[in-house]
Amino acid sequence: MVKVKVPATTANLGPGFDTMGMALNMYNTVEMDFHHSLDITISGVGMNDIDTDETNIVYQAAKMVFDKAGQECKGLRMHLHNEIPVARGLGSSAAAVVGGVVAANNLLGSPLNEQQLAELVTEIEGHPDNVLPALIGGIVIAGWGKEHLLYHKIKPGAQLQAIVAIPEFFLATKKAREVLPTQVSFQDALFNVNRASLVVSSLLTENYELLSEVMEDRLHQPYRSDLIPGMNALIERTKQVGAIGVVLSGAGPTMLALTIDNSDAVAATMQQVFTEYGIRCTVRRLVPIMTGAEVVL
Ligand SMILES: Nc1ncnc2c1ncn2[C@@H]1O[C@H](COP(=O)(O)OP(=O)(O)OP(=O)(O)O)[C@@H](O)[C@H]1O
Ligand SMILES: N[C@@H](CCO)C(=O)O
């Protein structure tokens, strides 16, 4: 039996749509063992929102490792314990995919190396920005090259905190991608190239004064704001009380504020603004982490 612990992730970091993400200290665990049939049990959050049959994505991801390794999968016994809320923008599907792939790879004696795991989880999820930090931790910038996935990991600054306001309602990534345009203007593309580059350089140099001016986006957030009541007001007011950057976490509806200090005021303001817009939410204070999925048993 193997047990794998996988972190939550926040994707995009504002302008880095489908490209950047960061691992956070909130975890799901996957326990997995060989079995003659499929037997899935679940505990923790979202127990009633996750399938326990062959459509379960932890199982589907695990089965792909068996296929790649040329091994028959007769069944699996799995217990999933979840802390990451489902369909809220904190990488629940990425954690499920990474948990399934890493647990199965371990069970089979590690036939796939890190590069192969990174490519497999990206193919399954469709984009690398949640699955890569879930797999290897840290802040990761990633994208497909001609043949291979290219990725680079940055160490988050030690002072950086991540406050997340998690609304009670679900927003499936599929739905939040349906509102995106098929084309954008040259000016908006240029704006995001500029801002994403400045986000990376300010994270690398821990220049939070610069970071506070550049976590802006024109490729996805403007189109998604109608799906998240209060999003723009929350960004504006949370920045006024000292957050470095305030952005949509992944596809939403969770909002992410990066802070160094002023965390109490930032957390209270996020809660307050969502409440004013009639949205019940849970605010959690998290920190970026350098460790991705790890085998704990
Ligand atoms: N622990 C889990 N085990 C199995 N399947 C899960 C688990 N958590 C989430 N899922 C599946 O993933 C779906 C949610 O994925 P979705 O991409 O919409 O949201 P998300 O990954 O939480 O958000 P984001 O990608 O914006 O961070 C759920 O509907 C469920 O099918
Ligand atoms: N980059 C993705 C993250 C969510 O899976 C999006 O914003 O749609």
Q: What percent of the chain has pLDDT over 70?
A: 100
C-alpha 11 to ligand 2 mean position (Å): 6
How many CA atoms does the CB half-sphere of 17 hold within 13 Å?
Answer: 22
Give the residue, by CA position, lying nearest to ligand 2 atom 1.
18
- pLDDT single digits (tens) 213-232: 999 999 999 999 999 999 99
Q: What is the CATH number of the domain that holds 197?
A: 3.30.70.890
Same domain, 169 and 148: no
C-alpha 243 to ligand 2 mean position (Å): 22
Same domain, 121 and 219: no
Dihedral sign, CA of 288, 293, 295, 296?
A: positive
Is residue 179 in contact with ligand 2, taking CB distance under 6 Å?
Answer: no
Same domain, 150 and 38: yes
Same domain, 127 and 180: no
Whether 26 shows a pLDDT value over 90: the answer reads yes
- pLDDT single digits (tens) 61-98: 999 999 999 999 999 999 999 999 999 999 999 999 99
Same domain, 151 and 7: yes
pLDDT of residue 175: 97
Provide the number of structural domains found in the chain. 2
Under DSSP, the state recorded for 141 is E
Is residue 123 in contact with ligand 2, taking CB distance under 6 Å?
Answer: no
**Residue 297 pLDDT grade (very low, low, confident, very high; cuts 50, 70, 90):** confident
pLDDT, average across residues 204-213:
96
Task: Give CA separation, 207 vs 29, 198, 200, 210, 211, in Å.
Answer: 34, 10, 10, 6, 6
- pLDDT single digits (tens) 129-168: 999 999 999 999 999 999 999 999 999 999 999 999 999 9
pLDDT, average across residues 230-243:
97
pLDDT of residue 147: 93
Q: Is 88 annotated among the ligand-binding residues?
A: yes
Same domain, 276 and 166: yes
Whether 40 shows a pLDDT value over 90: the answer reads yes
Dihedral sign, CA of 65, 69, 72, 76?
A: negative
Which residues in 97-134 are b (16+ Cβ under 10 Å) and which e? bbbbbbbbbbbbeeebeeebbbbbbbebbebbbbbbbb
Whether 47 shows a pLDDT value over 90: the answer reads no
Asked if residues 10 and 22 have their Cβ atoms less than 8 Å apart, the reply is yes
Same domain, 149 and 260: no
Same domain, 117 and 182: no
**Residue 234 pLDDT grade (very low, low, confident, very high; cuts 50, 70, 90):** very high
The Cβ of residue 167 has, within 10 Å, a number of other Cβ atoms equal to 22
Average predicted confidence (pLDDT) for the chain:
97
Same domain, 169 and 146: no
Same domain, 6 and 31: yes
Same domain, 140 and 38: yes
pLDDT of residue 166: 98
Q: Which residues span the domain enclosing 123?
A: 2-155+289-295
Same domain, 145 and 80: yes
Q: What is the CATH number of the domain that holds 46?
A: 3.30.230.10
